Structure 1
Amino acid sequence: MKPRHPVLRRLWRITLWVFPLAVLALLAKAARTIDWPQVMATIAGYDATTLVAAVLMTSVSYLVYSGYDLAARRYAHHALSTRRVMLIAATAYAFALNIGALVGGTGLRFRMYSHAGLGVAAISRVIVFSTSTNWLGYLLLAGALFASGSVVPPPRFASGSSGLQIAGVVMLAAALLYLFACHRLHGRLFHVRGHHFRLPSVPLALVQFALATVNWSLMAGIIFVLLPAPADYPTVLGACLLAAVATALAHVPAGLGVLEAVFVAAFAQRIAPTQVLAALLAYRAVYFLAPLLLAVIAYLLLESRGKTVAAPARPR
């Protein structure tokens, strides 16, 4: 939430620029100690089976993510075709991962839906629903994982395992509170900055949780496949979830270096940093860069079609 006082607002803007730059500077300094030829040699040593598995899981993940916007279609009551909705969602996702959620996930999604004929109100509901879906799944999955105590944080983690378990319980409580609110307040209209929103029904909220937990699990699964044998899936999933929050706080595009720092710390006692970095670079190539190239083509295709007439709204 942005501060209202002019001086505080100025300090907030400065922080938003300085903090990411400081993080990048520290990461650049750390990168000088890495044996990059060994990292490249590890990447070159991946077998075809491993890479095919990573590509297939990436494809499934993008399909699952497209389900966010399909569920949002039901919530927003618009009638765009399934094919168009999935193409917009997958394109926005690829851009969001690489250039940030604000521009990729929100800005481009707004433009593409606008060109498809949807109005501002419907697009706002789609964006809010899809964004909340992603983080609701995070709350449920991270909450269950952290509360179970199956994730051991890096040695330098300030609050240790007990702090992580407490955070997990709070996350689970927040997820359950959302379901309770959907049950009790489903018919109530909320006004936010000139837009009107309702909480989804409980069945639709359960769809949100299911889609997002599967997607987060798939993202961790891709990294798990690319890491060497000593890696275990719960630790990979925990590191992936922790890195997501660290990336959001650091405001570094694509979480560049932040993801790597979290994983290197998580596996410091078991896997060589060069192997961890090789797995994450391969992950970025498969999950970030390759889909981005396809997303650019899809975006240009959608732009070339021009703006269409708005699809009739579905009955509520």
Structure 2
Amino acid sequence: MASLFALPNEIVLAAFCARFPCREDPIRSLATLLSIRGAPSKNIVLYGLEATGKSAITKAVLEELSSPTKNGIVNGGNEHAQDTLRYAIIKSAECISGRHLLEQTLGAVAKATGWEGHIGRGENLSQLVIEIGKILEAWRAEQEDRENRRLVLVFDGIDRQRDAPPTLLPALARLGEIIPNLTTLYITTSPRPNFLHLPGVPHIHFQPYTKTDLLTIISHTAPSPSLLTGEKDTTDVWTRFTSAVYDSLTKHSSRDILSFRSLSLRLWPQFIKPILDGTLSPSPFL
């Protein structure tokens, strides 16, 4: 008899941790809460400063869990291979109003589930619930024996939604109570206390990167141009260079990995120009 509970595949999780260094705990928590046979939750909140990997990791985990060849494979085998997970991501930055957000949500849900019927306008929250419920009911009706289906609805940057009614978030938080097999995930920067007006919602914190984290992540970036003396010298000089950039600039401004990487790559050619010209050797920097 197949177990009702199974953790995500350890091999897959290890690959994710290697792909996104310094984010093992959030990755494991998110994968468990999204997996059909894990501990699926009706609502999940991801929060943290900008450029901490929230959106990228969420999309990567959902892509992996929704893969037909990998979705049901757990540590014990592939007895759940018929489970089907689909996801829809709605970015608030692309929605100019609350109503636009609702319409985008309906369109994303219809696309994720392969809905070919008429799509309602989604003029208000009540209409949104009715239309999503109709689409998911038809989608679940197609499932075969022993198959479980689940949809994950992701609202990216929902705390910055323009012209959002005050009832938007509490209403979205109750979608899972009305519509079966639905998980709603909110990606925010700094959520207000009890902003969903619902107790017991799992929160996953993406902490700011420390200096060690930033240097570990940027060490996987190959700088250009490379030193003529070989790859090893390039890597060693790049490591010391990025540490100096952090101490002199990034430490006092921000811990944004994107800005740190962009700044380091921009300064790198000027920094190694004396080495490429033959004026200096890499030795003083090793």
> Normalising to structure 1: TM-score of the pair?
0.29
More contact order relative to length (CA 8 Å, sep ≥ 6): 1
Larger Rg computed on CA atoms:
2
> Normalising to structure 2: TM-score of the pair?
0.31
